[in-house]
Structure 1
């Protein structure tokens, strides 16, 4: 089967005009790679071939979307010169099954909830690095940017969480245990893990509890998003069409919703409907170059698409 797929992509590449490919390749390098590769010409040649295959995949998918086959579109982003296997290596979330429904928010009568909600319009969503900062903004009216480096340095001493992954419950419980989290301006970000340097005297936000969303129940997730605020959720984000997503409501029958398939943490900041299709508004952490300015609309009420309601977590009593 993989052989047939590879052959189809090769044929698709040959169908893309060379001038178009060259133009897209140059634009991609300028925007994402500084027009050069550390590995020199050999590395660039390999990346060019991968880019061409991905670009053919994007072109073919969007042609089908134009015919109504798909409800979302793909585009060139920072992952366009990576194979799907390479991209999947970046998805290193490690979730702890013992945390599921440790304490959870029950479902409520969804007829009482708003038809749609977008917490961005309420001024409580920044380029979110910690779920707690949105809850703090809702509770106090003050939006602050918190320090992800504190979590990276302090959550698993001696382990580089940027490479090995971590669990959002562990992150919130760390903030509870330490008595707070600093502002990013006081505890600036740098790549990789270091020595924990948290100072309680500089804490900006305090968290005293957390809840998980009822396992796999989308209506329960809707209740929390509507009545409480943004919720940290984990998903199966390993597919090529997620890698290259750019707009529309994302639906993929190959996307898994079981606990073992969860590999990436994101933030549910709202929900709504588009052209009759329900969606979750999801904030990613890959910058504005990916998706729709850093966001993706994921199918809602569609058999827990990609596990969006499998493992949801949010802090309580934030001040």
Structure 2
């Protein structure tokens, strides 16, 4: 008999095996894609049964090539020997390809009290009660690991959420979520813009556009206040009836003097662009001259004939005989 335990083999307390990994869809079990419970071979159950492990069975999954770590539970032990089947999103989180090598080790994790999640799309805001949806979805999960991007399925659509924070904080970032009272918080989704911030940006841009397009004050002389030397010249309408040239054509005093001399040489005749009041004044003067001198109203040829006729001449002053008599 061995009273002091000499010769007794120590029982192993750690389960650590390496498997080729494949997605659960290879088993024809797409329902397992939601959650993080894996399928191991029957030999794993035999080894775990001989260990003094803590239930529920929880495991650390490690990609030895990249150092990526996550955690999971186990659902069944029906996989082929040397293989493990895990959800495809979990393979992506661990940067594993089909047939890659995965190290599975049993661990003990504390019960989670708090988790903060960040939706990876603004479409998550369309869910009317996200906390209730998440509570129902987490029933398929055994653990949560910080920096993982988990997948939940709701209303025929997949939603991805990044695990930003977990409590209690552990050295491996994992917590157990089986039968625990846990507080859940959400960060703004990726691509989300606060409506108040967007409204302030729109109002600022509108105010800037309005101030830049507002007209500058103009003085009584047509000068634009605050304008440069070129812009401060009096503005003249292109439809003006004035006989003078616009200021854009008279840039110096010499040009103005030359124009004045030009118009003086043309006499006092009226321009075709004369204003209506000037034209009416000219017509009134012409009528007054015609009343004083009836010959002035005749054409130039008739005025010459009229000037050669004696003043006491009376046309057809004879006996009134007709030329046809």
User: Normalising by the residue count of structure 2, what TM-score does the alignment of the two structures yield?
Assistant: 0.19
Greater percentage in helix: 1
User: Normalising by the residue count of structure 1, what TM-score does the alignment of the two structures yield?
Assistant: 0.20
- The structure with more radius of gyration: 2
